[in-house]
């Protein structure tokens, strides 16, 4: 009897420990260990947790707004980030509005998007990584919906032209500086958003 109990413990305890480790793993570990890539039209996504996904890259022209959720095998995933270099090759729009679910824009996400003039960024955005909008020569206006500026890594918008301006909701004027990373900041009324072309 003791031998049976011992054998049972030896065989089941490692499985229990492994299950606990997997369930407690963070999203980065999930992404590294379980990369799942799916495609919806020209958009390619990486599922990095049980509820979230990242836009990995754009393989063709973007004809519809970026989605905030994507369904795969009967499960809905929230699109929370734009990956590194995700929009660089096929982006040809003058304006883009990012979904409210986006919290991070990856490195060189829009690098050298020469047609881009206006960007509307969501209220939940926390970070814009280095060179995310670098060398976007026609970029003129960035409309932030957030109450406070997101973290901008070095060179997130550099180099940029003299005409580039950041706008923030006028109700949060006390939270925004007059200049952010060398770009002037002005209040605006969110009800008067520029229309997509």
Q: Tell me the two tokens of residue 22.
A: 């997997």
pTM here?
0.80
Domains, the chain, in order of start with CATH, read 26-192 (3.80.10.10)
- Segment 77-101, tens digit of pLDDT: 999 999 999 998 889 999 999 999 9
Q: What is the DSSP string of 85-113?
A: TTTTTT---SEEE--TT--EE-TTTTTT-
- Segment 138-174, tens digit of pLDDT: 999 999 999 999 999 999 998 888 899 999 999 999 9
């Amino acid at each position: 009897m003791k031998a049976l109990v011992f054998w049972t413990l030896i065989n089941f305890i490692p499985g229990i420990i492994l299950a606990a480790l997997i369930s407690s793993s963070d999203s980065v570990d999930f992404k590294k260990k379980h990369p799942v890539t799916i495609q919806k039209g020209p958009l390619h996504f990486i599922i990095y947790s049980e509820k979230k996904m990242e836009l990995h890259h754009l393989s063709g022209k973007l004809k519809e707004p970026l989605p905030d959720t994507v369904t795969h095998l009967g499960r809905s995933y929230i699109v929370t980030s734009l990956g590194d270099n995700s929009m660089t090759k096929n982006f040809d729009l003058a304006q883009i509005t990012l979904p409210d679910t986006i919290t991070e824009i990856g490195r060189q996400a829009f690098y050298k998007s020469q047609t881009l003039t206006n960007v509307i960024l969501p209220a939940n955005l926390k970070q814009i990584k280095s060179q995310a909008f670098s060398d976007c020569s026609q970029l003129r206006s960035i409309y932030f919906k957030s109450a406070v500026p997101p973290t901008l890594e070095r060179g997130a918008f550099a180099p940029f032209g003299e005409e580039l301006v950041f706008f923030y909701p006028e109700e949060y004027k006390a939270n925004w500086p007059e200049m952010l990373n060398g770009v002037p900041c002005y209040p605006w009324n969110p009800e008067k958003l520029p229309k997509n072309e």
